[in-house]
Structure 1
């Protein structure tokens, strides 16, 4: 396969650094949130780089960006590879960006070699994977997979009151010349490269992570309704203190959630009203992130959270909203074997890993054979300006991806019949 095409490590690294200019923070890192002016700038770069390789850009009602290298048989379903371009407000240069640009580099290498695949290959940058501006995340892939409705997603607003529909209209208006395709299409295979966002690979001295699946995740919003009162005059026994109810819930939840080492339980957001030092809090809103690789255990723990909240809320009122219910998934064995084969051919140490973080590949796995390729992330640090991946690891991940694309698109000895 190396004789067919090869990536340019220097070009890939240079483009990663260039993309980091879009939304660059004053010292380091990026703030390139979904459907923002900064993401529009990143689209311009990515589309221009794709055009150099003859890739055709398109977008859809969800705001996903696609760049396609046509195949000999355009009617065949494409191989899709990529990740996302949006970041956290204080994000790094590699989360999402590595996967999208590695896919672009691999497809560029195929085009530069003069190869025409049997089936199309499409690079994707999914809309709002991060969920930092519009919650929850992974909106683009969930819409593509039919897991949410356009009406539901378009109505979501950011902290300033701007809706997804309004922000997406700005993005589409900035690119009137590119094709608008319908939402969703058949996919032959999906491959997503990504930094690990943990230190399992680094600790083991591995370069390539062969991802077995993604652990399940539930997120909740709990709204506690109490009664505002004067802190100096309201008797303690008569208070409906929303913050005290939250405190009782939080302590019990923390105690009862940690049933084994695989549980990940986080209260990551808390809002108090009126948030005044001499007023009994009348409202508390908090969000819980709960993760576990075993779906049965995840379901049991989720129900326990709701029970704890109901038992500790008195004398206040309670409303529980289930925001995300994403079961654990496994990735395609054939594609995982192909990653092992490619890593061995290059001499890259590889390791089976489970993804503790969520990714768009979760939505794609039920639609088509899917897999993720991880590369090490220094110190496991991610969603942070200091996030880092070594240039040689970036190149290694892209080289393995290229092998899989060649095979899946019908350009290697190992592909099967087109279908």
Structure 2
């Protein structure tokens, strides 16, 4: 029987990478990439695949009311809160194979090492795959982790609909039926983990530029999501003179221009993105009556987000090119700073493999932003080529990924071997 102190060195890198390649076949696109939208056929198949892998390692598989899937390796003392590791398996419509999935598979690699080496531990370990982190099909994202953390209610989440009108609740019920058909146990209510660790690809070019394979993450910037509707008047494109037009397209263009003036050059940390845009009636010879678009705004300082939110709302009260504007807040997630004691454990583990690694703040939101309100939480990043993610060209070097998983395993080892005092964090 091996000792816990060798957990990171005993981890089988070949088997970890084989899992990466196997999971990438579920929802695979041609010539590369994946499409696993939340609660679709491929997302559900990925959950069942994860359940099968866990059971082969002697783990108990269970789920909760939001379809979050957990694999538990029991510890010697069931009275102790479990250590939680994981991320998500859903993707963007045309995505790379590592975003989210790498964090789940890293947890699976830790479970496999513990199982195959016969290592015993007092505290149980859970690997989780959270439901709907991306929000690509059902907005907003991080549904499973936000509900688990008590940040959103289940009725509101279930009431969401995708662009085709399918309800979140309807799709969720079908998923839960599949899990129950495979005898995946229902966990009736969320629990409080001992701590949560999430490994993710770094969504930016920083680590690659430094030649660093892994780093610790000390927090996540906040994000505000908006839906905007600009309403004008549909009319004939050929017969309506310019001064008689209420063109929603031009109104949206003018409004967006003012939003950009507010955000450009204001702060290097500010991120402003319009990700979806549509016109109605969407006819080549008809003036647009409605323009709809989304706004994604991010910053690590809540005061900055609040100030811009007020300015956005004030602009929406004006007319633009004769058109009315409706601006609706669909999600607001405050920035979080991770637990100092847990962050120190992760930083020490990272330094075993990357002594010069920086500690970064995450520009992208992750499930950890919600779990940090429940228990001590921290993250690790591994680089992706050119900082590209949310795209089939997303690429992670195998050597970097293996180093990152070993650093994660080293942190797990420290948490299981020592009694870490998390008293300085208010949860």
Contact 1:226 1:241 (8 Å CA) reproduced: yes
- Structure-1 separation of matches of 2:422 and 2:335: 30
- Structure-2 separation of matches of 1:358 and 1:282: 34
> Cα distance, 1:27 vs. partner?
0.5
- Structure-1 separation of matches of 2:249 and 2:421: 62
1:3-152 matches, within 5 Å, as 3-4=6-7, 6-152=10-156
> Cα distance, 1:183 vs. partner?
3.4
Quick one: which of 158, 170, 175 aligns to 2:174?
Answer: 170
Contact 2:316 2:326 (8 Å CA) reproduced: no
- Structure-1 separation of matches of 2:106 and 2:145: 19
Does residue 294 (structure 1) correspond to residue 301 (structure 2)? The answer is yes
> Cα distance, 1:235 vs. partner?
4.2
1:159 alignment counterpart: 163
1:192-231 matches, within 5 Å, as 192-231=198-237
Contact 1:207 1:349 (8 Å CA) reproduced: no
> Cα distance, 1:349 vs. partner?
4.1
3-state SS, counterpart of residue 230 of structure 1 = coil
1:259-338 matches, within 5 Å, as 259-313=266-320, 315-338=322-345
> Cα distance, 1:312 vs. partner?
4.0
Note closer, same or farther for the CA distance 1:3–1:269 as it changes in structure 2 (3 Å cut).
closer
3-state SS, counterpart of residue 295 of structure 2 = strand
> TM-score of the superposition, structure 2-length normalised?
0.93
User: Number of residues paired by the alignment?
Assistant: 416
> Cα distance, 1:224 vs. partner?
1.6
Contact 1:213 1:355 (8 Å CA) reproduced: yes
> TM-score of the superposition, structure 1-length normalised?
0.95
> Cα distance, 1:407 vs. partner?
2.5
> Cα distance, 1:318 vs. partner?
2.6
Quick one: which of 223, 228, 242 aligns to 2:248?
Answer: 242
- Structure-2 separation of matches of 1:346 and 1:281: 56
- Structure-2 separation of matches of 1:225 and 1:71: 59
1:396 alignment counterpart: 403
CA RMSD of aligned residues (A): 1.8
Structure 2: gaps (5+ residues): none
Does residue 345 (structure 1) correspond to residue 352 (structure 2)? The answer is yes
> Cα distance, 1:49 vs. partner?
1.2
1:256 alignment counterpart: 262
- Structure-2 separation of matches of 1:276 and 1:216: 38
Contact 2:132 2:144 (8 Å CA) reproduced: yes
- Structure-1 separation of matches of 2:350 and 2:220: 21
Cα offsets for 1:352-392 (capped at 9, x unmatched)? 11111110000011111000011111111111112111111
- Structure-2 separation of matches of 1:348 and 1:38: 39
Contact 1:107 1:402 (8 Å CA) reproduced: no
Does residue 384 (structure 1) correspond to residue 408 (structure 2)? The answer is no
Cα offsets for 1:173-206 (capped at 9, x unmatched)? 2222110112311111000000102111111121
Note closer, same or farther for the CA distance 1:230–1:415 as it changes in structure 2 (3 Å cut).
same
Structure 1: gaps (5+ residues): none
- Structure-2 separation of matches of 1:113 and 1:400: 18
1:368 alignment counterpart: 375
3-state SS, counterpart of residue 167 of structure 1 = helix
> Cα distance, 1:344 vs. partner?
2.6
